[in-house]
Structure 1
Amino acid sequence: MSGARPAQGVRPVLSGLGVAFTAYLAVGALLWTSPLAYPVVQVIAIAFYLVTTWVCIFWNARIESTPDLVRSRFGVRMLLPAWAVVLALAVAAIVPTASWVAAGPGAGENDYATWSLGAVGALMAIVMVRRRPWAAWAGVGLAAVAAMVWIGLPSALALGVVGAVLWVGVAQLLSWLVDRAARDTARLTELQRDASQWLASQEGMRRERRTQVQRALAVAGPVLAHTIAVGGHLDDTERQLARLAEGTLRDELRGAGLLDDDVRAALSAARGRGSVVSVLDEGGLDDLAPDDRAELRAELARLIEGARSQRLYIRASTHPDIAVTVVGRSASDGGEDTVDLWREFARPPRDGRMDATA
């Protein structure tokens, strides 16, 4: 999908920045200016943090179904799996406490003890970008509570809690702005596509009308020119030719979708036998595949060739089951019109052949 191409270039850059920043925070936790009470605990906490953070960055995202007009501009929404959310919340609950335990008494406000506040803020910003806002704010809350317990509220606010809140808030704002821009872009793309399709359909209709007019002129033009030349004084043969031209012209204007060379020839032959033929296309063949349309026209041509009705009515409608209906009427011995031909051509299924039923 073309919308995914920008993400393929942007996502690796953002992932690389996330890895570099979280690694920087972890290195700060290893720069001890005084001996730690429990250095092993610090190392384990850092390892747990890095593994969890990088899992949240790199773990494959799944497609999230949304009620939006279309998907995000980047093709998929980067929804973090539930188990990774639990892992991130575990880091927010455990790593800050582990850092202060590792630092020991009296060292709670040192950088290697308070690094976890910035680290949790960075992790929760990643969780926010991965479309888990409630989990991100919950993680910041867990880290803030731990900080207040260990170093008090003023020190917690001064040494990292405010920064963590700002990071997560900015991440949520940027995510919202990107989503809004993506929806607007997608909507504009859809409108442009609809406009292009409308223009293409209009151009197709204009070409079809030009073709019909040219065909009509080819059929009726000579007859009209001769009629004008003789001042309307036509003999019987010329009148018959004029009626045939008139019927052919009506067919081209009202039933073009039903016509091909064989159907046109069959209609001309039927009129030559004295039948009155009416053809009406209401779009019944527009949704048919080209092969189905060709087969239906071939069947229709054979039916018209064998018809001997005095009047033929051929209609293609948008009925869900019937594509074309042919009705023939003739005068009976009593002088009343009776139906002597009734044929319905069933609309062919997607994977089937066209069927005709009497």
Structure 2
Amino acid sequence: MISVKNVLVVLAIAFTAYLAARGLWWTTAPVPQPLVVVATLGLYLATTWFCIFWEPASAAADEQPDAGGIRGPRRLPALAQFLALACAAIVPSAIAFAVGPDSRTASFATWYLGGIGALMTIVMVRRRPWTAWTGIVMLAIASMVWMGPLEALALGLVGSVVWVTCAQLLVRSMDRAARDTARLTRLQRAASAWQASQVVRQRERRVQVQKALVVAGPVLTRTVANLGELDDKDRLEARIAEGRLRDEMRGPRLLDDDVRAELERARRRGANVTVLDEGGLDGLDEDALSIIRGQLAETLRSASSDRIYIRTSPDARIAVTVVGRSPSTGGSSDEDAVDLWREIPHPGVG
């Protein structure tokens, strides 16, 4: 499969091979040490391609963070760094020695200026900037010693410095783009989550409105038809409808058909019932909720209190607490006695 990475790898191989091939183009005179030249070229190519291709599995732990799905080049392993620095130290001096003093500025003898620069560019792209700049300094020192400062600068040293500099700027720009992409991805996910939550809330509001219309619609219709003049029966139905709406809004997870029927029965006999879901039922599946609702309906079926308070409990053992209060024998509402106390445990809790 053709990808940007594969294209860059092919270009790096072709370019370094071309630079190394220049070292074999002896057009002026035979070199004094041809075997040294060939061995040096082999060392250069092996090291360069080693730095291009070597990505051991252990390098994954040393890899740059994957930001927003954009993965940059992996860090060059320590052994490859050592080989790259050794190549930067050996190749210039070996070539200068092998070609002799009369050919040190010939084109086939100055290839290492671009070759080591390309190698250090690869090292820079593999996220080893200190190693890359160390290699450039070693190249600059060796080439200036063997050629002279002006000749080294004129024959390719400046270009190698420019390549490494551009590579470092490119890597930094790529990392910055990856961070920006990751940040935008997080913002997009947050916006999508917020939008989804709004859709869910709108759906819940529509469901609550529909329930309210079902419960309060008949009462409102009769109220409008009678111009607000309600008899005792209609007032009772209005109070029951209001209580059912409060139950649906404040404690929907506590309700099923049996619980709703018992709540309505308690209100019809004149009890004041309050249902509050204050947490504690989160994470329970439908089977567990069914068990809790069954026990709640059973408790309400036998309750005779004038005021009944039903609350969920944050306690790890207790799911729902039911408290009933009725006036004491003295008749004072401020001295209501607790005549019902029931704690419904979480299913499976002894």
State the TM bucket, normalised to the shorter chain: 0.7 to 0.9
Q: Secondary structure at the match of 1:314?
A: strand
Alignment correspondent of 1:55 = 50
Q: 2:32 aligns with which of 17, 34, 37?
A: 37
Matching residue's letter, 2:121: A
Contact 2:256 2:293 in 1 (8 A): no
For residues 135-155 of structure 1, the C-alpha deviation after alignment (integer angstroms, 9 at most, x for no partner) is 111111111111122222222
Alignment correspondent of 1:98 = 94
The CA deviation at 1:29 is: 1.1
Cα distance in 1, alignment partners of residues 270 and 291 from structure 2: 22
For residues 78-110 of structure 1, the C-alpha deviation after alignment (integer angstroms, 9 at most, x for no partner) is 221222111211111112122112212322112
The CA deviation at 1:356 is: 4.6
Q: Secondary structure at the match of 2:52?
A: helix
The CA deviation at 1:127 is: 0.9
Higher mean C-alpha displacement, 16-25 vs 221-230: 221-230
Change (3 A) 1:164 1:214: same
Contact 1:118 1:164 in 2 (8 A): yes
Q: 2:285 aligns with which of 287, 293, 298?
A: 293
For residues 228-276 of structure 1, the C-alpha deviation after alignment (integer angstroms, 9 at most, x for no partner) is 434443335x444333222110012222344455554454455456654
The CA deviation at 1:9 is: 1.7
Alignment correspondent of 1:350 = none
Alignment correspondent of 2:103 = 107
Contact 1:39 1:102 in 2 (8 A): yes
Q: 1:83 aligns with which of 79, 83, 106?
A: 79
Contact 1:344 1:356 in 2 (8 A): no
The CA deviation at 1:344 is: 5.9
Is the aligned partner of 1:23 residue 2:17? yes
Cα distance in 2, alignment partners of residues 323 and 43 from structure 1: 84
Change (3 A) 1:148 1:320: farther
Change (3 A) 1:295 1:151: same
Contact 1:315 1:325 in 2 (8 A): yes
Change (3 A) 1:254 1:121: same
Contact 2:68 2:181 in 1 (8 A): no
Paired residues for 1:1-358 under 5 Å: 9-33=3-27, 34-60=29-55, 62=60, 64=62, 71=67, 73-230=69-226, 231-236=228-233, 238-261=234-257, 263-265=259-261, 267-268=263-264, 271=267, 275-282=271-278, 284-285=280-281, 288=283, 292-307=284-299, 308=303, 310=305, 311-316=307-312, 319=314, 321=316, 324-331=319-326, 336-338=336-338, 340-343=340-343, 355-356=348-349
Question: How many residues are treated as equivalent by the alignment?
Answer: 336
Contact 1:64 1:76 in 2 (8 A): no
Matching residue's letter, 2:231: L
Matching residue's letter, 1:216: A
Contact 1:125 1:136 in 2 (8 A): yes
Contact 2:279 2:312 in 1 (8 A): yes
Identity of aligned residues (%): 49
Q: Which has the larger radius of gyration?
A: 2
Cα distance in 2, alignment partners of residues 151 and 175 from structure 1: 32
Cα distance in 2, alignment partners of residues 293 and 217 from structure 1: 29
RMSD (Å), alpha carbons: 2.9
Q: Which runs of 5 or more structure 1 residues have no equivalent in the other structure?
A: 347-353
Change (3 A) 1:323 1:306: closer
Cα distance in 2, alignment partners of residues 76 and 266 from structure 1: 65
Contact 1:266 1:301 in 2 (8 A): no
Q: Which runs of 5 or more structure 2 residues have no equivalent in the other structure?
A: 330-334
Cα distance in 1, alignment partners of residues 173 and 30 from structure 2: 46
Which stretches of structure 1, 4 residues or longer, exceed 6 Å deviation after superposition?
none
TM-score normalized with structure 1 length: 0.83
Change (3 A) 1:328 1:171: same
The CA deviation at 1:294 is: 1.1
Higher mean C-alpha displacement, 133-142 vs 175-184: 175-184
Contact 2:308 2:325 in 1 (8 A): no
Cα distance in 2, alignment partners of residues 42 and 339 from structure 1: 104
Contact 1:270 1:304 in 2 (8 A): no
Change (3 A) 1:160 1:341: same
Alignment correspondent of 1:349 = none
